[in-house]
Amino acid sequence: MERGRSREEGQARDATGRRRRQQPYGGDRGAGAAGTSVFAHLVAALPCAGGRPVGSVLVVDPSPPGWGLAFGDDDPLLMCNSAADVNSLLPDRPHDFVDHLRARGWTGAPDTCVPRAAMAGYCAARWEGARDAAKQKGVTVRHIPRRLVSIRLGDGSPRLRLDDGAELVADDVVLATGVHRPRVPRGFAALTGHPRYVDSPYPSARLRAALGAGRRRVLVLGSRQSAVDAALLLCRDGHRTTLTSPSGSLPAVRLSLHAPPRDFPPLRRMARLDPDDPLLERRLTRCVVEAVRLLGDRPLRAQTSRAADPVRRLAEETALAEAGVCLWPGVAVAVIEALTAFADGLPAGRTRSLMRRFDWFVGRYLTALTVVNARRLLEHCATGALRVAPSYPESVAFTGGVWRVSGPGADPPGTYDHVVNATGFEPPEVTWRADGRELLLRPGDPGDTVVDHLEADLRVRRAPGAPPEHVWLAGVGTHVRIPFANHLRTVTRQARWVAEQVAARG
C-alpha cells in the first residue's frame, strides 16, 4: 500500500490548506488477502489522532482486488486448505468470513472448508466495503492494474515505478506482494521454457489451455498441496497423471485446519526454550506430543499410518480421519502460532534451518490434506487415472515428441506428453540495488543485496539498526523474520499492526 500521487498530480490539500498524505499501497499482489486486510484496517484507523490527513489510497495489482493467486481461482475443485473459522481478514472479528458466507446462504459448519473462490469473493467484498468507507471519510481510492517494479528512496518521498514505465510518488508504501515465482524443480533448470512444460498449476484455466483437448500423459513434479491440486484438475479432465517427488510422500489427512479448541500449556512452554539448544528439535516435538495428549487418550502413533506405500498410507489415514479418531489436527493452528512466536526475530538463516529440521512435520501434518481431497485422490488411484511414482527422476529429456524420464535402477524410462511443475513458489524477495537507493521487487543482480532482516515494526531498513524507510512488508514477504508467513491469522495480525502504524504516522 502506498500513499502517493502520480507524477502528473499536484499536492492535494485539506480544507485548512495543509498537505494531505496521498497513499497508494502496492506490490505484485497488493490486492490479495494480505493487501485487502491492510487496506480494511487502514481505512478503519482513519482519521487517527496525531496523524496527518490521508488524501488517497492507491492499490497497485494486476489482478482485481481480492482475486490474488492464493484464492483467486474459480475452479470449484480448488478448496481452501483451512476451515472457514480461521479465514477472517479481521482478527478482531474471527467469525467475519463465516458471517459473510451465512449472509449469502451458506449452511456449512464453521470448521469445514469452502472453495477458494468463496474466499476471493469475501476479500473483494471487504475491499469494496473499505473503499466505500474511505470515500465517506473523504479519502480517494483507486486500483491501478499494473505491477510494481521498484521503489526509489533517499531523495524525498518514495518514487514507485510500474511495469509500464509510469511513476507514482508516495508518502508511505506497504508491500503485500504474495508469491509469483514458481520454484525450479531439480533436474529441470534447462527445460523450464519448453512448450510442454507448465511452470505452475495456477491459474487452472491456463493449465487446461496448455494441455488442450484429448487425454494426455502428464508427469506432475511434487506431492504436496500444489501437486494435489494439479492431480485433481488433470484427472477430472481425463488425463493420466503421475505424481513424483524426492520424498515420495503425500501429506497426511485431516478433516480441516480449524481454530484451536482450547488452550495448550505445553505449547506455551516453547517460548522458554533456547534456540541454541542442541536438543531443540526433540524438546519442540515433546511440546507438540504433550499438546495432542490433551485432546484425548488415543496416542499419536495410533492416529496416523506407518504404511510405506504412499497410496496405502493415504487410504489408512483417510479412514482414520473419517472415523473421527484423528485428534492431532486440533493442535495444528496452535502449533503454527507457537512456532511462529518462538522463531519471531531469529536471524533469517536460523529460521530457515529450524524449518528445514521440521520439514517432515510441516510437509505432512501442518499442510495436510482435507479428507474430501484425499477421498478424491483415492478414487483416481483406484481407476488408474493417478499413480504415485516410487522415485524422483534422475534424468529427463524431450525427444521424439515426448518427455522421457528415467528413475534409479534399470527400469525403462517413462514417457509423458507434458510435465507440470507443482513444487510451489519461491518466497518473495525485496532487493536493495548496490547503490542503496532503490528497492527491487525481484531477485537482484550481482552486487545487490536481498532484504533479509526485519525488525518488529516490519519496516524496511538498509541495514540492521539503520533508520526505517517509509516502506512496510506484510504477509508472505515477512518470511525473512518469521516462519509460516502465509498463515492467514498471522497475516491479518500483521496487517492490523502495519495499518495502525501507517495511519498514526505524523
What does the angle CA 302 – CA 306 – CA 308 come to, to the nearest 5 degrees? 165
Which grid cell sits at 7?
507524477
Asked if residue 270 lies in contact with residue 284, where contact means CB atoms within 8 angstroms, the answer is: yes
Q: Is 311 exposed, middle or buried (0-12, 13-18, 19+ CB in 10 A)?
A: middle
Asked if residue 12 lies in contact with residue 53, where contact means CB atoms within 8 angstroms, the answer is: no
Q: Is 290 exposed, middle or buried (0-12, 13-18, 19+ CB in 10 A)?
A: middle
The predicted structure's pLDDT at residue 20: 40
What does the angle CA 55 – CA 60 – CA 62 come to, to the nearest 5 degrees? 155
CA atoms within 13 A on the CB side of 29: 23
Helices (H), 5-87: 33-45
Q: Three-class SS of residue 161? A: strand
> Crossing angle of helices 329-343/488-504, nearest 10°?
40
CA of residue 439 relative to chain centroid, distance:
22
Asked if residue 470 lies in contact with residue 158, where contact means CB atoms within 8 angstroms, the answer is: yes
Task: Name which of 94, 103, 11, 19 is nearest 489 in CA terms.
Answer: 94
Other CB atoms within a 10 A radius of the CB of residue 214 amount to: 9
How does 336-371 read in b/e, with b if 16+ C-beta sit within 10 Å? Answer: bbbbbebbbebebeebbebbeebeebbbbbbbbbbb
The predicted structure's pLDDT at residue 24: 42
Q: What does residue 430 show for φ and ψ, rounded to 5 degrees?
A: -115, 130
Q: Three-class SS of residue 352? A: helix
Q: Which residues contact 214 (CB under 8 A, 6 or more apart)?
A: none
Helices (H), 110-262: 116-136, 204-211, 225-236
Q: Three-class SS of residue 236? A: helix
The predicted structure's pLDDT at residue 29: 38
DSSP category for residue 272: G
Q: Which residues contact 220 (CB under 8 A, 6 or more apart)?
A: 201, 227, 230, 231, 234, 241, 242, 243, 244, 419, 420, 422
Which whole-number Å values give the CA distances from 67 to 96, 189, 302, 394, 506, in the listed order? 18, 30, 40, 38, 32
Asked if residue 458 lies in contact with residue 472, where contact means CB atoms within 8 angstroms, the answer is: yes
The Cα–Cα gap between 134 and 65 comes to 15
The predicted structure's pLDDT at residue 16: 25
DSSP category for residue 368: P
The Cα–Cα gap between 271 and 402 comes to 53
The predicted structure's pLDDT at residue 8: 34
Other CB atoms within a 10 A radius of the CB of residue 161 amount to: 18
Helices (H), 85-140: 96-102, 116-136
Q: Are strands 449-450 and 431-432 parallel, antiparallel or unpaired?
A: antiparallel
Cα dihedral 350/267/226/37 (nearest 10): -90
pLDDT in tens, the chain (506 residues): 544 444 333 333 222 222 344 444 433 335 789 999 999 999 999 875 455 577 889 999 998 988 887 788 999 999 998 999 999 999 999 999 999 999 999 999 999 999 999 999 999 999 999 999 999 999 999 999 999 999 999 877 899 999 999 999 989 999 998 888 999 999 999 999 999 999 999 999 999 999 998 999 999 999 999 999 999 999 999 999 999 999 889 999 998 889 999 999 999 999 999 988 889 889 998 999 999 999 999 998 899 999 999 999 999 999 999 999 999 999 999 999 999 999 988 887 788 888 887 777 788 888 899 999 999 999 999 999 999 998 999 999 999 999 999 988 656 679 999 999 999 999 999 999 999 999 999 888 899 999 989 999 999 999 888 999 999 999 999 999 988 999 999 999 999 999 999 988 74
Asked if residue 207 lies in contact with residue 420, where contact means CB atoms within 8 angstroms, the answer is: yes
Asked if residue 307 lies in contact with residue 344, where contact means CB atoms within 8 angstroms, the answer is: no
Q: Which residues contact 261 (CB under 8 A, 6 or more apart)?
A: 295, 330
Which whole-number Å values give the CA distances from 26 to 391, 398, 441, 504, in the listed order? 42, 40, 11, 19
Asked if residue 366 lies in contact with residue 333, where contact means CB atoms within 8 angstroms, the answer is: no
Task: Name which of 506, 496, 406 is nearest 44 in CA terms.
Answer: 496
